[in-house]
Structure 1
């Protein structure tokens, strides 16, 4: 398991909440926004719960493509071993300067979701239940100076 060390958790959460997330399904692209429901996606790809997860760039620290691809292959193997249904997805910053591939996974149980995210050194995932807004799940305690956000959960 990677040990996650984040210099500024509040800044990271703000950037993650503002990022653009997309999933590709049968040639169509569906946008995901933190705090908004993903009704079109859910109608097209029904599930009880969803999670966007990546193995790239733990804690947003850049890694080589080779290291990221190796980590991604390990994540895919674990998702496949768990029998999880997945679709290619990605996250990008609002300026389009940074893009990171990942997976949108259907019906992954919450314990497995958090275990995998921590194992791959991720600071956060997107996670939500059908019909509910997309939520940012920060896998660290909320900084004291960070206000409680409507669409952000912090693991205390």
Structure 2
């Protein structure tokens, strides 16, 4: 994966819809914002999408079908304690996404690979948001 793509992931504003309305923004290498702290508690969390696999633009309909498939898989996952609508916004693009509380890193790695995502954002409790690269076998961990 090239450095420009990693930089784009790092510069993205990862917005999570709050239960009472509005959004809270996650930023890579920044702590979880206060409005999300109660939602995540002591659990792991992830911000991911099924849009544009391998960072290649696809038609909206295909992205929508893939996103619904991701949501269906998450709803069946016993470890998913909360699933919130979200959106990743960067430059002149945006991707509908999901903020998931509960699944452990191995589960979110598997989901990212299943839906052909190069990377996703994750964290533990109210710690820092980290960019996790998933392209290749096995996932390569944090982006430097």
Separation in 2, partners of 1:13, 1:130: 24
Secondary structure in 2 matching 1:45: helix
Match of 1:28 in 2: 22
| Equivalent position of 2:124 in the other structure | 129
Structure 1 residues 53-112: Cα deviation after superposition (integer angstroms, max 9, x where no partner):
10000122111111001101110110001032200011111x3x1000110000112111
Q: Tell me how far 1:132 sits from its aligned partner.
A: 1.4
1:139 aligns with 2:134: yes
Superposition TM-score, scaled by structure 1 size: 0.80
| Residue 18 (structure 1) shift | 0.8
Whether the 8 Å contact between 1:125 and 1:136 is mirrored in structure 2 is yes
Q: Give the whole-Å Cα distance in 2 for the aligned partners of 1:34 and 1:43.
A: 16
- In structure 2, stretches of 5+ residues that fail to align are none
| Residues 117, 135 of structure 2: 8 Å contact kept | no
Greater Rg by CA: 1
Q: CA RMSD in A?
A: 1.6
So what's the TM-score if we normalise by structure 2? 0.87
What are the within-5 Å matches in structure 2 for residues 13-24 of structure 1? 13-24=6-17
Q: Aligned residue for 1:147?
A: none
Displacement of 1:52 in angstroms is 0.3
Q: Which runs of 4+ in 1 moved over 2 A?
A: 41-44
